[in-house]
Amino acid sequence: MASDLTAFIAGLPKVELHVHHVGSATPQTVARLAERHAGTTSVPADPELLAEFFTFTDFAHFVEVYLSVVDLIRDAEDVATLTYDIGAGLAAQAVRYAEVTLTPYSSVTRGIPAEAYCEAVEDARLRAERDHGIQLRWCFDIPGEPTMNSADVTLGVALDQRPAGLISFGLGGPEAGIPRERYAAHFAAARAAGLRSVPHAGESTGPQTIWDALRHLGAERIGHGIAAARDPELMAHLRDHDIALEVCPTSNVRTRSVPSLAEHPLPALVAAGVPVTINSDDPPMFSTTLNREYEVAAGLLRLDAPGVAELARQAVRYSFLDDHGKAAILTEIDDYVTASRSEVGEPGAPVDVEDRTGH
């Protein structure tokens, strides 16, 4: 029965709301770029060695490794290739729509002009939709750092270039020592320009970071947000104000934000009525996929096929896709569920949670 549910998830139409651009580079792509830039990078060009390279000791180490891969994206052609491959890879998992988090600051400060960067991601977005039928949209993400330069540059690129696929504004990187409230003016300007607010908060820090993101940044969804499980008042607030969390279970274990999958707070959040969506974050780096994350969630929440389908519907509802687009994907999900029932009956007992992260 578990294999039935795995197959059901693989074909289930889905959306992805929390996946990072550079963090989606496959080992093959990373190895190719590392070989191209051999002698000027610490990233190994051997795909087998990348597994060891991507074994993180803690969140700070993850950021260090992530930035070393960022350094491999050195021109507009690299950007376009990476972006197109992301779209193709998501489409192969039956993803119909994805909101991809981009960090233009990292590329612009490495010498790629902002205009060329935006043209590259837009070209790839249109080609991916043409070739694979997937809709890609962008969240421009401030990488949290001690200075405010990254925030100024990210906002400037967003407002000056305003690529057609850009729909939201985010804040990522380390949470500890990077107060959410100091970015209030940047988020206010982005929101005034029509961008939606989706900062990371409560991944590697506590509930207060989430409160700060809500109060100071006008967060409409929260990236990760798993620390909300420690604060009943916060969970009630998220429930009552219909603010969804972008939960990425395997990522939380790999970055040591959660000790193990068995201890993940997803069940507690759902039990409290907090809206959740399931996402993959940096899938190749964490040896996962969006389909695998749905399997993990099914195991944690003891879901059968109809329950998993409802998780997929929930992600559609909390996306920033327009109403027509949402309706189309929701209809496709309903049709898929109906067809699955007629073909194999009621597929899918819950998948047992197997901690494949090594913890």
Q: Write out the catalytic residue numbers.
A: 203
* Bridge partners of residue 97, in order along the sequence: 15, 135
Q: Which amino acid is located at 223 in the chain?
A: G
Question: How many alpha carbons fall within 13 Å on the CB side of residue 64?
Answer: 9
| Angle at which helices 2-11 and 305-317 cross, to 10° | 30
Phi, psi of 138 (to 5 degrees): -115, 140
Give 89's contacts (C-beta < 8 A, 6+ positions apart): 24, 26
* Bridge partners of residue 329, in order along the sequence: none
The answer to whether 128 and 174 are in contact (CB under 8 A) is: no
Question: How many alpha carbons fall within 13 Å on the CB side of residue 351?
Answer: 22
Q: Classify 178 as helix, strand or coil.
A: coil
Cα distances (angstroms) measured from residue 189 to each of 151, 152, 182, 352: 11, 11, 13, 45
* Bridge partners of residue 15, in order along the sequence: 97
Q: Can you tell me the distance from the alpha carbon of 314 to that of 333, in angstroms, rounded to the nearest whole number?
A: 11
Total residues belonging to the chain:
359
